[in-house]
Structure 1
Amino acid sequence: MKIIVPMAGRGSRLRPHTLTVPKPLIPVAGKPIVHRLVSDIAKVLGEPIEEIAFVLGDPAFFGDDVVESLTELAEGLGAKASIYRQDQPLGTGHAIMCAKDSLSGPAVIAYADTLIRADFNLDKEADSVIWVKQVDRPEAYGVVKLNDQKQIVELVEKPKEFVSDLAVIGIYYFKDVAVLKDELQYVLDNKIINGGEYQINDGIKRMMADGKVFVTGQVDEWMDCGNKNVTVETNTRMLGFLEKDGEKLISDSVTQKNATIIPPCYIGDGVVIKNASIGPNVSIGDGCTVEDTAIKNSLVQTETVIKNATLDNAMIGNHVLYDGKYTTISIGDYSILE
């Protein structure tokens, strides 16, 4: 089994946090988004992963440190890491085809801007499985249309009239991903463009027209990381899941003096907490100092100093110095407010 991860986008909706760090490497509950996504998919598949192919953008932004992090991720799962580049933002189908040398055999394609919780058996008899989640407002999503045999017969983007309430979440399984590669090559060769880009859906639709069988795989939880507010919400939900799973969330190297920690919280290595209340639903990365502060429902990255603050629904980047009285904030890397 292979996993293909297109992740070349800059994550503009999550700025300023993505000005210096690619969105898939933003940590949620102490672990980068893409690390959580790939690890959770591998767990769901329950079989050896031979290769994980990452499609990155500009090397000036997705540099050697990103490649090293992703290589460690793949090797930690017993897989080979393959790195590809998408030099132009030409769409989901184009991004997949940038990894065409890896497009053979059974594979999962997963876009690295979402997190899932799932526990099900993968239907390997079908030609493809498209992961979906039941939603309350299907008109805001791309959804699948099913026939009487519960097979997917159509993909409909933001339907004005009700088609189904099963939204496509951006994770796909292909029994032989080379079939998708052939159809996407046709899309590229014939310049089949939608929304100004080459889309994976156009390759999938050609597979459907050729009689390939598509079925749904439903996830228990689908969590977005598109902007600051939903990323903070996803951090909260993920902390709850990890606490329920019994995962150790607070490092033994945390220094506490007159500190109160209200779970669930993730607190990384070397964090110093003085005269402070942390939690619930807070993640604090390695090397931070929090003093004379109360924080809840927030996400703080690494090597940051926070003093004299009362924070709620806040997201703070790496190497920040913050001393102030604001509450709902979003501060990028290397900022100083004092």
Structure 2
Amino acid sequence: MKIIVPMAGRGSRLRPHSLTVPKPLIPIANQPIVHRLVKDIARILSEPVEEIAFILGDPAFFGEEVVKSLEKLAEGLGAKASIYRQLEPLGTGHAIMCAEPSLSGPAVVAYADTLIRASFELDPAADAVIWTKQVDRPEAYGVVKLNDQEEIVELVEKPEQFVSDQAVIGIYYFKEIENLKKELQFVIDNEIINGGEYQINDGIKRMMAAGNIFKTGTVDEWMDCGNKNVAIETNQRIMTFMEKDGSEEINSQPTLENSTIIQPCVIDSSVVLKHSTVGPHVSIGAGTVIDNCTITNSLIQKNSSIKNATLDEAMIGSHVKYDANFTKISIGDYSTME
């Protein structure tokens, strides 16, 4: 089994955090989004993962440190890491085709901007599976249309009339991914463009027309990381799940000086808390010092210093120095203070 991970986008909706760190590597509960996603997929699959192909963007942004992080992720799952580049933003279908040498055999394609929780088994009768989540407002999503045999017969983007309440979440399984490769090659060769780009959906629709059977795999939880507000919400939900699962990360022991932690929190053991109350639902990365603060429902990354602050639903990057007692501050582009 292979996992194909297109992750070349810059994540503009998550600025300023994605200005210096690729969005898939921004931590949720102290672990990069793409790491959590790939590990969750590997847990669902009944077959061992032999290869993980990552499609990255410009090497100037997705540099050697990113590559090493992804190679370590694959190695930890007993898989080979293959690194490809999508140097132009030409769409989801084009991104997959950038990994053309790896497009053979059974594979999962997963776009690295969401997190999931799921416990289903892949349908052995299906040529492909599109992972979906039941939603309350299907008109806001791309959804699948099913026939009487619960097979997917159509993909409908933001339907005005009710089609189904199963929204496509951006994760797909193909029993033979070379079938998708063949159809996407046709899409590119014939310049079939939607929204100015080559889309995976056009390859999937051609597979359906050729008689391939598509089924759904419904996930229990689908969590977005597209912007600051939903990333904070996802950070909270992941910690709640980790607490229920008995994760050891919830019980890590930072240095406490007259401070209190209200669980669930994920705090690196190298963190120092002084005269502060932290939690619930706070993640804090390695090397950070919190002094005289009250912090709830927030995400703070590595090697930062936060003093004299009362924070709720805050997202703070790495190497930040913030002292709420001072008023002369310098904040970078696309930052928000509310």
Q: TM-score, normalised by structure 2?
A: 0.96
Q: In structure 2, what residue type is equivalent to 1:192? A: I
Contact 1:250 1:268 in 2 (8 A): no
Distance 2:332 2:40 in 1: 28
1:1-338 alignment, distance < 5 Å: 1-250=1-250, 252=252, 254-324=254-324
Distance 1:99 1:248 in 2: 36
Give the 3-state SS of the residue equivalent to 1:18 in structure 2.
helix
Distance 2:222 2:252 in 1: 31
Distance 1:306 1:127, change over 3 A: same
Q: In structure 2, what residue type is equivalent to 1:84? A: Y
Distance 1:50 1:332, change over 3 A: farther
Gaps of 5+ in 1: none
Distance 1:40 1:133 in 2: 16
Shift of 1:160: 1.2
Q: In structure 2, what residue type is equivalent to 1:31? A: Q
Distance 1:3 1:55, change over 3 A: same
Shift of 1:252: 4.9
Give the 3-state SS of the residue equivalent to 1:19 in structure 2.
helix
Matched-pair identity in %: 72
Distance 1:332 1:223 in 2: 27
Contact 1:17 1:332 in 2 (8 A): no
Q: In structure 2, what residue type is equivalent to 1:41? A: I
With 317-326 and 192-201 compared, the bigger mean Cα shift is at: 317-326
Q: TM-score, normalised by structure 1?
A: 0.96
Distance 1:322 1:284 in 2: 15
Contact 2:10 2:18 in 1 (8 A): yes
Distance 1:249 1:325 in 2: 32
Contact 2:253 2:267 in 1 (8 A): no
Q: In structure 2, what residue type is equivalent to 1:38? A: V
Q: In structure 2, what residue type is equivalent to 1:229? A: N
Shift of 1:122: 1.0
Give the 3-state SS of the residue equivalent to 1:38 in structure 2.
helix
Deviation string 1:231-253 (CA, Å, 9 cap, x unpaired) is 00000000000010000125755
Shift of 1:161: 1.2
Shift of 1:47: 2.2
Contact 1:317 1:332 in 2 (8 A): no
Distance 1:246 1:70, change over 3 A: same
Gaps of 5+ in 2: none
Distance 2:98 2:22 in 1: 19
Shift of 1:269: 3.0
Deviation string 1:278-333 (CA, Å, 9 cap, x unpaired) is 0000000000000100000000000000000000010000000011179xxxx779
Contact 1:251 1:268 in 2 (8 A): no
Name the count of aligned residue pairs. 331
With 193-202 and 46-55 compared, the bigger mean Cα shift is at: 46-55
Shift of 1:72: 0.3
Distance 1:117 1:332 in 2: 35
Q: In structure 1, what residue type is equivalent to 2:90? A: L
Give the 3-state SS of the residue equivalent to 2:17 in structure 1.
coil
- Aligned CA RMSD, in angstroms, stands at 1.5
Distance 1:176 1:332, change over 3 A: farther
Shift of 1:165: 0.7
Distance 1:260 1:332, change over 3 A: farther
Distance 1:83 1:253, change over 3 A: same
